[in-house]
């Protein structure tokens, strides 16, 4: 395992070995770090190895995710960088997401059942959420700090298909302040929850607060 830091100040691709220090594309188990020192645009055009973590703290450039970017651990984002793209960031294991108020403009995908995803602050998704479980397993979404409320907003932009399937949300502070329109799901300690027997009509947003 190694820490690979993005060092390009011009537009480059994730797969360009010279855009990382030490040189070489992040391998499985590596930490990928973007700082505020080198802010060249990074385009993910080839599916990545499974990272240990992804950090963009201080980065003000554009991270364009056009093929799958897979993280097997925590994701820490910067409020000042732009994340977009036609593919997704896949989180494959128990992880904490620190979004710092950044809007994630590519799909966020939770891929492993019986996994807990923790939110450390408010998060906004504009391209879509894919949270796919099975009848025998679910994905738990909860706050990183017990009794501390988080906000999760999934904006319906009218063009993206959003799958929220067997997503188990734990009521963060027992305030019954969770609202989610979903096709399937499991409810824990929340009365203000809506699970529909059929696909719901389009709504402006989905909020878990």
What is the predicted pLDDT for the residue at 122?
82
Q: Are strands 75-76 and 103-110 parallel, antiparallel or unpaired?
A: unpaired
Cβ neighbors of 35 (< 8 A, separation 6 or more) are: 5, 6, 57, 58, 59
Assigned domain for 206 exists: no
Assigned domain for 85 exists: yes
Which pair of tokens denotes residue 50?
């499974």
Q: What is the pLDDT of residues 43-70, one digit of tens each?
A: 999 999 999 999 999 999 999 999 999 9
Assigned domain for 137 exists: no
Count how many domains the chain has: 1
Which residue, among 72, 69, 86, 62, has the nearest Cα to 12 in the 3D structure? 62
Assigned domain for 142 exists: no
Judge residue 129's burial from the number of C-beta atoms within 10 Å of its C-beta, 0-12 exposed, 13-18 middle, 19 or more buried: buried
Q: What is the pLDDT of residues 109-150, one digit of tens each?
A: 988 878 888 888 888 888 877 776 665 666 777 778 876 777
Q: Quote the pTM value.
A: 0.80
Is the four-CA dihedral 201, 137, 193, 90 of positive or negative sign? negative
Assigned domain for 136 exists: no
DSSP bridge partners of 112: none
The parent domain of residue 74 ranges over 3-112
Whole-number Å distance between alpha carbons of 134 and 94: 17
Report the 10 Å Cβ neighbour count for 3. Answer: 15
């Amino acid at each position: 395992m190694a820490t690979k830091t993005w060092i390009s100040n011009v537009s480059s691709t994730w797969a360009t070995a010279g855009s990382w220090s030490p040189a070489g594309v992040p391998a499985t188990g590596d930490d990928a770090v973007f700082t505020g020192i080198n802010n060249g645009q990074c385009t993910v055009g080839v599916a990545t190895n499974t990272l240990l973590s992804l950090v963009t703290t201080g980065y003000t450039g554009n991270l364009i995710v056009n093929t799958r970017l897979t993280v097997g651990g925590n994701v820490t984002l910067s409020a000042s960088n732009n994340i977009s793209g036609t593919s997704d960031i896949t989180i494959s294991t128990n992880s904490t997401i620190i979004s710092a108020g950044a809007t994630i403009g590519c799909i966020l995908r939770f891929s492993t059942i019986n996994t807990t995803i923790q939110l450390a602050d408010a998060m906004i998704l504009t391209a879509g959420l894919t949270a796919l479980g099975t009848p025998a397993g679910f994905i738990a979404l909860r706050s990183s700090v017990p009794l501390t409320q988080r906000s999760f907003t999934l904006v319906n932009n009218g063009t993206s298909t959003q799958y929220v399937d067997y997503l188990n949300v734990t009521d963060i502070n027992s305030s019954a302040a969770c609202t989610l329109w979903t096709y399937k799901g499991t409810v824990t300690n929340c009365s203000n929850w809506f699970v529909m027997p059929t696909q719901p009509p389009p709504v402006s947003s989905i909020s878990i607060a």
